[in-house]
Amino acid sequence: MSVSTVFNLWRPLDADVIANPYPFYKQLQKEHPVYHAQTGEWIISRYADIKNILGDKIRFKAGNRLQWMKHATSYAKGKGLDYSNIPKTLQSFVLFKNPPQHTEYRKWIHRHWKEHPFVPGQISGIIEQLLNNAILSGFDFVSAIAKPLPLIAISNILGIPLKDSPQLKSWSYDVIKVMDLYLKVSDLQRINVAASNLLQYFTEIAKHPEVLDSNGIIYKLISENTLELTDEQLASAFIFLFIAGQETSAAFLSTMMYHLGIDKELFNDIASGQASLNASVNELFRFDPPVQLLGRINTELVEFNGLQILPESTFTLCIGAGNRDPEIYENPEKIILDRPQETSLAFGYGIHRCLGESMALDLAKSTLSYISSHYREIKISNNLKFEWEKNISIRRLKSLEVSLKK
Ligand code: HEM
């Protein structure tokens, strides 16, 4: 079938696709690996194409969400609606920067990030405390562990007072929605309110860093403001550092428990030491990655799969599809804990590759290590009814009722 005869194949918001996007990706990858969606963007689903795009900082640029938000905000302004806090909040997200600015931002953050002394042992302590507070005979893993664990760990690294983090978390869950592809007016309204609150909080922080833990990264970034950012730009940069790892990590921890809860053999292999923690976590990140879609814009004419694509087109890269590409992974639909790994795309690739990857891996490995050494069974009690958030960029369970058996 030629591309012009296939319409409306792109249906990421359909309920069956939200629940399980992988059969949909498989069809797309097999029949239309480079698909011009009815929404205007190009959908890319092959591993090699995604890696080429993410690795090409000349012909592809990041920042399409910021660009889109600026358009949406100025359109809304013409209708008397004010969403101006959204682009203000996104203005200094390192994720949306391109070289040479991106290189400067990344250096500035990375210098302090890599020196931070947060260790996996601390994570185990937090997990123990959170599990002690949960009723082990039946609790919601998402709200009891998956959300608070990254919140506490990230607040600690950034040096944010823990008393402020629950409120910041709730705003950040609203703001991260900005990454989703298709937003409704009600989403924009909610995002704008949360963005305004976060901006206000972090601008105050930029003005008064003395309220922060001086060992935290934000304090150091303010002390060494080599980029000479204004308070509002600093606030925006910090907002991204705060939100980047919250929903992503919460999503992965829940998805990991879900897979280990429904396939007992996997959990037994990890608990008995037959499968290493490292390999198991990497494989689960490949199999069901939290970040499902990334975006890029081409700066010049490019050709994919024999199709010429005009400059300034938007590309949506399906990470979840690339991670199950049969050209790269044998038997990709199966979780093989000791699979010889071709690095998956779960943390991206190229100059924007995730800065928090090792932290995200530590959170997952520590959780798995703690649970597999203290409990012999994970029982899922959702009656096999699982509800996923209606997000298409980040795939996350709404809740996961589990019992842990000693
Ligand atoms: C399960 C957890 C996580 C996943 C799956 C994940 C995934 C990703 C992906 C796919 C990208 C690349 C985006 C792109 O190329 O457009 C990225 C970038 C980034 N991530 Fe993560 N992430 C996670 C956790 C974290 C954590 C815990 C932090 C820090 C607290 C973090 C900080 C960042 C930053 C700063 C970037 C932007 C890097 C740049 O633009 O140079 N992430 N992440």
Site to probe by mutation for ligand 1, drawn from 347, 366, 391, 393 as the one with most ligand atoms within 8 Å of Cβ, is: 347
Query: Which residue owns the Cα nearest ligand 1 atom 9?
Result: 347
Q: What percent of the chain has pLDDT over 90?
A: 79
- Tell me the CA–centroid distance for residue 352 and ligand 1, in Å: 8
Which of 248, 366, 396 is the pocket-test mutation for ligand 1 (most atoms within 8 Å of CB)? 248
**Average pLDDT of the chain?**
92
The 10s digit of each residue's pLDDT in 224-251 is 999 999 999 999 999 999 999 999 999 9
The pLDDT, as a whole number, for residue 354 is 97
Domains, the chain: 3-405 (1.10.630.10)
Pocket of ligand 1, candidates 347, 354, 357: which has the most ligand atoms within 8 Å of its Cβ, to mutate? Answer: 354
Residue-wise pLDDT for 251-305, tens only, equals 999 999 999 999 999 999 999 999 999 999 999 999 999 999 999 999 999 999 9
Three-state SS sequence of the chain: CCHHHCCCCCCCCCHHHHHCCHHHHHHHHHHCCEEECCCCCEEECCHHHHHHHHCCCCCEECCHHHHHHHHHHHHHHHCCCCCCHHHHHHCCCHHHCCCCHHHHHHHHHHHHHCCCCCCHHHHHHHHHHHHHHCCCCCEEHHHHHHCHHHHHHHHHHHCCCHHHHHHHHHHHHHHHHHHCCCCCHHHHHHHHHHHHHHHHHHHHHHHCHHHCCCCCHHHHHHHCCCCCCCHHHHHHHHHHHHHHCHHHHHHHHHHHHHHHHHCHHHHHHHHCCCCCHHHHHHHHHHHCCCECEEEEEECCCEEECCEEECCCCEEEEEHHHHCCCCCCCCCCCCCCCCCCCCCCCCCCCHHHCCCCHHHHHHHHHHHHHHHHHHCCEEEECCCCCCCECCCCCECCECCCEEEEEC
Ligand 1: which residue has its CA nearest to atom 25?
245
What CA–CA distance (Å, rounded) separates 226 from 377? 51
Q: Residue 4 — pLDDT band, cuts 50, 70, 90? A: very low
CA 249–ligand 1 middle distance (angstroms): 10
Q: Is the pLDDT of residue 119 over 90?
A: no
Cα angle 89, 90, 95; round to 5:
145
Atom 2 of ligand 1, residue of closest alpha carbon: 249
Q: Percent of the chain beyond pLDDT 70?
A: 96
Can you tell me which atom of ligand 1 is nearest the CA of 242?
Answer: 30
Cβ < 6 A, ligand 1 pocket: 54, 62, 94-95, 106, 154, 244-245, 248-249, 252, 290-291, 294, 346-348, 352, 354-356, 359-360
Atom of ligand 1 nearest to the CA of 97: 40
This prediction's pTM: 0.95
Residue 137 has pLDDT above 50, yes or no: yes
* pLDDT for res 2: 44
Looking at residues 163-171, what average pLDDT do you find? 93
pLDDT band at residue 51 under the 50/70/90 scheme? very high
158 Cα nearest atom in ligand 1: 30
Nearest CA to ligand 1 atom 24: 245
What band does 117 get if pLDDT is binned at 50, 70 and 90? low
Q: How much distance in Å is there from the Cα of 376 to the middle of ligand 1?
A: 32
Minimum-distance ligand 1 atom for the alpha carbon of 157: 30
Distance 158 CA to ligand 1 centre (A): 15
Confidence of residue 121 (pLDDT cuts 50, 70, 90): confident
- Please tell me the predicted confidence (pLDDT) of residue 6: 60
Give the ligand 1 atom nearest the CA of 319.
10
Residue 1 has pLDDT above 70, yes or no: no
Predicted pLDDT at 62: 97
- 27 C-alpha vs ligand 1 centroid, how far in Å? 28
Distance between Cα 267 and ligand 1 center (Å): 27
Residue 46 has pLDDT above 50, yes or no: yes
Q: What is the pLDDT of residue 374?
A: 92
389 alpha carbon to ligand 1 midpoint, in Å?
Answer: 20
Ligand 1 centroid from CA 239, angstroms = 13
Q: Report yes or no: 95 and 350 within 8 Å, Cβ to Cβ.
A: no
**C-alpha span between 396 and 150 (Å, rounded):** 14
pLDDT category of residue 5 using cuts at 50, 70 and 90: very low
Instruction: Please tell me the distance from the alpha carbon of residue 352 to that of residue 151, in angstroms, as a whole number.
Output: 22
Distance 245 CA to ligand 1 centre (A): 7
Give the side-chain half-sphere CA count within 13 A for 323.
27
